[in-house]
């Protein structure tokens, strides 16, 4: 596992640092040279994540992806996806779409099911065409009695409805 760090307001802010955990040697992934040859070891932390320990440098921030910032982008579109939990096992995607269509156009409904048994797990994601429709559905349906049960409805967190990659077991 490697964590990347960027240093703000630093002449080397475009360099990503990585720790080779096999031998605890930090190296630069941009130039593929050992950092030890560039920096004094007393100023370099070999703990993950790697950062320069220099008080004159402003607060470093870390990221686990190739994007240069962890801060939310102001240009990101607002969410049009809602998350619903507490659904009855008998609730269908068609019935949910019909019920939520009164708040606006619904693009897609996905009731999450168990992979082995194919039984509904009691929660779903609903995609609306506009943010206003999603917000209205949340305000009107949260805590309401639907299909025999009280449901919890909220705006979905970004990335929460994407399938996760299955972890592969380590082979010796």
DSSP string, 18-33: EEETTTTEEEETTT--
Task: Please check whether residue 154 is in contact with residue 83, taking contact to mean a CB–CB distance below 8 angstroms.
Answer: yes
Q: How confident is the model at residue 158 (pLDDT cuts 50, 70, 90)?
A: confident
Q: What is the pTM of this model?
A: 0.51
Q: How confident is the model at residue 44 (pLDDT cuts 50, 70, 90)?
A: very low
1 pLDDT higher than 90:
no
Q: How confident is the model at residue 167 (pLDDT cuts 50, 70, 90)?
A: low
165 compared with 90, residue with greater pLDDT:
90
What CA–CA distances, in Å, run from 95 to 31, 98, 110, 111, 133?
56, 5, 12, 11, 18
Q: How confident is the model at residue 77 (pLDDT cuts 50, 70, 90)?
A: low
150 pLDDT higher than 50:
yes
Domain ranges of the chain: 1-72, 81-155
71 compared with 104, residue with greater pLDDT:
104
Q: Hey, what are 108's tokens?
A: 């897609």
- Backbone CA torsion sign across 71, 61, 19, 30: positive
The CATH superfamily holding the domain 81-155 is: RRM (RNA recognition motif) domain (3.30.70.330)
CB neighbours (10 Å) of residue 146? 19
Q: How confident is the model at residue 116 (pLDDT cuts 50, 70, 90)?
A: very high
């Amino acid at each position: 596992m490697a964590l990347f760090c960027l240093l703000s307001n630093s002449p080397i802010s475009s360099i990503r640092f990585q720790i080779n955990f096999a031998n605890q040697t930090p190296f630069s992934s941009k130039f593929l040279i050992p950092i030890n040859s560039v920096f004094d070891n007393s100023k370099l932390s070999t703990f993950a994540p790697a950062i320069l320990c220099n008080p004159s440098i402003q607060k470093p921030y870390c990221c686990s992806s190739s994007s240069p910032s962890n801060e939310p982008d102001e240009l990101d579109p607002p969410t049009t996806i809602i998350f619903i939990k507490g659904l009855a096992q008998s609730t269908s995607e068609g019935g949910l779409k019909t019920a939520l269509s009164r708040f606006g156009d619904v693009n897609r409904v996905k009731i999450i099911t168990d992979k082995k048994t194919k039984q509904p797990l009691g929660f779903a994601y609903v995609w609306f065409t506009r943010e206003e429709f999603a917000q209205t559905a949340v305000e009107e349906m949260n805590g309401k009695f639907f299909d025999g049960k009280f449901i919890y409805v909220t705006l979905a967190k970004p990335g929460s409805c994407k399938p996760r990659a299955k972890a592969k077991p380590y082979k010796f």
